[in-house]
Amino acid sequence: MNILVTGGAGFIGSNFIRHMQSKYEYTIVNLDLLTYAGNLQNLLGIVEKERYHFVQGDICDRELVTNIFHQFDIQAVIHFAAESHVDKSIDNPEKFLNTNVIGTQVLLDTARQYWKVNQTDKYCTNYKENVKFLQISTDEVYGALGKDGYFTEESNLSPNSPYSASKASADMLVKAYYATYKLPVVTTRCSNNYGPYQYPEKLIPLMIHHAINDIPLPVYGDGKQIRDWLHVEDHCTAIESVFHNGRLGEVYNIGGNNEKENIEVVKLVLKYLNKSESLIEFVQDRLGHDRRYAIDNSKIRQELGWYPCCSFDKGIANTIQWFLENNKRTNIPYTNQLC
């Protein structure tokens, strides 16, 4: 099978390519624009493999995407590519709409056209066998939770940032292409990921980076925002399960069952690194900052037999150790912008 992975030089995408290449004989074509968060060093050891091809480019470039489908006979799409930093979406919403919405539409439309059995029928809804479009999304499309309860696949979409609104819009396009054109699609929505190869702008890698370098650790508001943490390797195995066995047209929530307050995570990082909590610096809260996310992952557990294997204590320890060993490679200027 020939798979197009978009955003494969980023954090989750590169981990997923590594995971799949270690288990299967698939040919993977990685399309990535290599913006600031994309790094080909994330794929060292993969680039030499015959079953891997890298194309630098924009998912909004319809001609390029079409050429990739024809050149490599793409049979599946796993769509990671997205602008994902909430703060940056507040500063520049248009960029997020272009990449996350228009880029997704270009991929959907190209897949629909290329996978049609009857190329002369404009609205043909019969497709080649075993093709599939997998949309990788986020729990942020659901908005914020109260103190109790969990997001399920039936929860209403209620995004509260330009980033989450753009992802919700992309999810709705995927749903519409299934309902209208019968395009074989599946969507996953994950909780907050952490692990190796993550660009140091999100909470955990930024806190690790700052603590290692004795830079103040910026924490939004009172730091009591709650997130469900999912190790990236667990996320990769979940995507693998959905890709192979997920029901077409369905949504699967992927959660790690690790709810933690941000301040708890920050203090844990400092403890592992034997650093003083005096490095914590509370900063003005983000606009429209959601208070709590938590995912009910019972659907994927019951239907596909997937469950998270990595405990947070083990995962955070391994992640900190990875950043200690790769500190120079991930070095960035001081910032108080975090996710």
Give tens-digit pLDDT for 20-65: 999 999 999 999 999 888 889 999 887 666 899 999 999 999 999 9
Residue 336 pLDDT greater than 60, yes or no:
no
pLDDT confidence of residue 65: 98
Output 116 or 121, whichever has higher pLDDT. Answer: 116
DSSP 46: T
Residue 130 pLDDT greater than 50, yes or no:
yes
Give tens-digit pLDDT for 213-253: 999 999 999 999 999 999 999 999 999 999 999 999 999 99
pLDDT confidence of residue 324: 94
Question: Residue range 157-186: average pLDDT?
Answer: 96
pLDDT confidence of residue 48: 62
Query: How far is residue 289's CA from residue 66's CA, in Å, rounded to a whole number?
Result: 38
Residue 140 designated active-site? yes
- 70 — pLDDT class (breaks 50, 70, 90): very high
- 329 — pLDDT class (breaks 50, 70, 90): low
- 93 — pLDDT class (breaks 50, 70, 90): confident
Weakest-pLDDT range from 34-48, 93-107, 134-148, 175-189: 34-48
Residue 101 pLDDT greater than 60, yes or no:
yes
pLDDT confidence of residue 297: 96
Marked catalytic residue, from 83, 140, 171, 259:
140
pLDDT confidence of residue 290: 85
pLDDT confidence of residue 331: 47
Domain extents for the chain? 2-194+231-256+292-308
In whole numbers, what is the pLDDT of the chain averaged over residues? 92
pLDDT confidence of residue 118: 85
Residue 339 pLDDT greater than 50, yes or no:
no
pLDDT confidence of residue 73: 97
**Residue 299, SS3 per DSSP:** helix
The CA dihedral of 216, 225, 316, 304, to the nearest 10 degrees, is: -150
Residue showing tokens 């667990």? 234
Give tens-digit pLDDT for 282-310: 999 888 888 998 999 999 999 999 999 99
- 205 — pLDDT class (breaks 50, 70, 90): very high
Residue 250 designated active-site? no
Marked catalytic residue, from 32, 87, 139, 201:
139
- 269 — pLDDT class (breaks 50, 70, 90): very high
Distances (CA, A) of 256 to 192, 195, 217, 283: 9, 13, 25, 28
**Topology given in CATH for the domain delimited by 2-194+231-256+292-308:** Rossmann fold (3.40.50)
Percent above pLDDT 90 for the chain: 79
Marked catalytic residue, from 163, 181, 197, 220:
163
Percent above pLDDT 70 for the chain: 96
- 90 — pLDDT class (breaks 50, 70, 90): confident
At CA 59, angle to CA 130 and CA 31, rounded to 5?
70
